[in-house]
Amino acid sequence: MANSVKCKNCGEWNTIEGSGKQKCSNCGEIIQDPTKERLEKIKKFKQEQLDKWMFTIHEDDSPFIKFGKKTGNMTYIVIMSIIGFFAWLAAVLPL
């Protein structure tokens, strides 16, 4: 069973076949572009993850809070670097 999608440009109904880029049979406008949809999903996911990060610095944060978040970010980077070094060292050294 084929799916139908209405063109946003001309209002014509088109059948969707396959999963690639689809164009309107009437006006040639792009109806479905999986690559664009995927990139928008990734961009939205990255923004959500950034908003969830506890050390994200916002414009309305006080100077004390900004200092604390910058310190937290630097501490996180240093600790992860040390852990990464020891993980690399454990992987490289023979047992």
Q: Which pLDDT score, from 0 to 100, does residue 43 have? A: 94
Q: Which pLDDT score, from 0 to 100, does residue 27 have? A: 84
The model's pLDDT over 3-17, given as tens digits with 9 standing for 90+, comes to 777 788 888 887 877
Return the residue matching tokens 């023979």: 94
DSSP for 25-80, written as a single string: TTT--EEE-HHHHHHHHHHHHHHHHHHH-TTPPPTTS-HHHHHHHHHHHHHHHHHH
What stretches in the chain show pLDDT beneath 70?
1-2, 19, 32-33, 95
Report the SS3 class of residue 2: coil
Residue ranges of domains in the chain: 1-42, 53-95
Q: Which pLDDT score, from 0 to 100, does residue 82 have? A: 98
Q: Which pLDDT score, from 0 to 100, does residue 2 have? A: 64
- Dihedral-angle region of residue 6 (phi above 0 means left; psi in -120 to 50 means alpha; beta otherwise): beta
